[in-house]
Amino acid sequence: MFLQSPYKVSCYWFLVSSFLLLVASCSNNSREATTVTVPVSDVKSSSLKYAKRFNSSLGSGHKTLYLFGDRESNDTTATFILYPKTQAKPNLGNNVFYVATPVNNIACMSSVYAAMLTKLNLQNKIVAVDNVDYYNNKFIIDGVASQKIKEIGKSPQISVEQTLVLKPELLLMFGMGNPKKDVDERILNSGIPVAITLDHLEEHPLARAEWIKFIAAFFDKEKEADSLFNITEQNYLELKKMADTVKYKPKVLTEIKYADAWHVPGGNSFMAHILKDAGADYIWKNENKFGSIALNFEEVYLKAKDADFWLNFFINVNSKKDLLSFDERYNLFKPYKTGTLYNNTKRSNAKGYSDYYETGMCNPDELLKDFIKIFHSHLLPAHQLKYYKKIE
């Protein structure tokens, strides 16, 4: 069989959960309104440059955050009113979510958010996480081991009972942008403020990294977030400019088959964008998709058998032998024969989960540097790969 143990299944789910959310978002036909509809174009924010799934504005004595989870209409799916703890709660209607700031403690339901909080030097505000198995962050791992940080999400669902007992000042989790649908009703009725993030729906690497500004708003750390993001953006654009000078653009294949389908990133995806910026020719770049494209083995082989590089396998693929244990036909691909196989597992925890899916998502400049080193090593001769390693 393709996957031979529940452990492999759970490992793979961790890796592909992001694109499954993308697929789900494309088929979301819900029209239940949670707030007054405001088109994206009508919401002004001078600080956002790339992110499309949220925006912000300043009101009289409060900040407003808007989520745009519906790609079909580009209207708001949730509105958050952030007001100072020193002031009375504003009365702006019942169909918005109120959060008093700055938040003193937070239940953080993704290792990506924990990485952003760590960049903001706010890791000591984290009182709960989802599944610690996914974390490479030593502060989180040690905190859970000492029970200073609670683990409330070992299964795909968070523990409602533990969350209610803990009663954090903010529950930060991913979803599709509507807390009334993304969150258990018991948590919503408890009065615990819930913020949904949509960074996984962003298409550009810098757009996903820019969600540090969303998180920072709950802690009144907008200036710090702007400064950190500006550094990331500057590094990324300088690296992109370097890669733009190359004439040779190698053809790149990513992922491997899971069960009956080989899910490759669409041409408008995070991966397609960063591969282009690294001076690569992504094979499915012309597919106008945000999420993943499900193909069978034969379809991928016909189009990608002569690829120059092959990236991103399961977390338990550390050798060519491991790769062939999933499907012996993988030895038919040119990158297998030439040895141009790279997996994003160089930095992994004791459970095998990669830091690529943690700090890599909020540091796209570091990812881009790795890609350029792989495809055009002469441009960065001194760089040592941070997230990727060659599969021998």
Per-residue pLDDT for 371 more than 50?
yes
Give the pLDDT score at 26.
36
Res 272: pLDDT: 97
pLDDT for 165-212, tens place per residue? Answer: 999 999 999 887 667 778 889 998 999 999 988 998 899 999 999 999
Within a domain: 1: no
pLDDT, position 1? 29
Give the pLDDT score at 186. Answer: 94
Decide if pLDDT at 16 tops 70: no
Please tell me the predicted confidence (pLDDT) of residue 153: 86
Mean of the per-residue pLDDT values for the chain? 87
Whether residue 375 sits in one domain with residue 302: yes
pLDDT classification of 242: cutoffs 50, 70, 90: very high
For the cut 50, the answer to whether the pLDDT of residue 113 exceeds it is: yes
**Claim to verify: residue 57 and residue 180 sit in the same structural domain:** yes
Q: Is residue 25 part of a domain?
A: no
pLDDT at 38: 41
Q: Does residue 279 sit within a domain?
A: yes
Residue 199 sits in which domain range?
31-234
How high is the pLDDT of residue 59?
86
| Same domain as 334, residue 267 | yes
Domain shared by 58 and 201, yes or no: yes
Share of the chain above pLDDT 70, in %: 86
The arithmetic mean of pLDDT across residues 356-370, rounded, is: 97
Instruction: Summarize the confidence of residues 67-71 as an average pLDDT.
Output: 81
Residue 216 has pLDDT above 90, yes or no: yes
Residue 208 lies in a domain: yes
Same domain assignment for residues 105 and 217: yes
Assess if residue 8 is contained within a domain: no
For residues 225 and 344, state if they share a domain: no
Residue 376 lies in a domain: yes
CB 165 within 8 A of CB 158: no
Both 179 and 82 in a single domain? yes
| pLDDT surpasses 50 at 15 | no
Whether 73 and 160 share a structural domain = yes
Q: Read off the pLDDT of each residue in 144-161 and give the average, rounded to a whole number.
A: 90
Tell me the mean pLDDT in the region 302-328.
Answer: 95
172, 205, 234: which is the final residue of a domain?
234
150 in the same domain as 104: yes
Q: Of 215, 234, 253, at which residue does a domain stop?
A: 234
**Shared domain check, 266 and 137:** no
Does any domain span residue 124?
yes
Q: Is 207 found in the same domain as 59? A: yes
Is the pLDDT at 385 greater than 60, yes or no? yes
Boundary of a domain, candidates 234, 264, 297: 234
* Mean pLDDT in residue range 369-389: 98
Please state which of the ranges 42-51, 252-261, 344-353 shows the lowest mean pLDDT: 42-51
Q: How many domains does the chain have?
A: 2
CATH number at residue 44: 3.40.50.1980
pLDDT at 72 (0 to 100)? 66
Q: The whole model's pTM is what? A: 0.86
248 in the same domain as 230: no
Is residue 21 in some structural domain? Answer: no
Q: How does residue 73 score in pLDDT terms, banded at 50, 70 and 90?
A: low
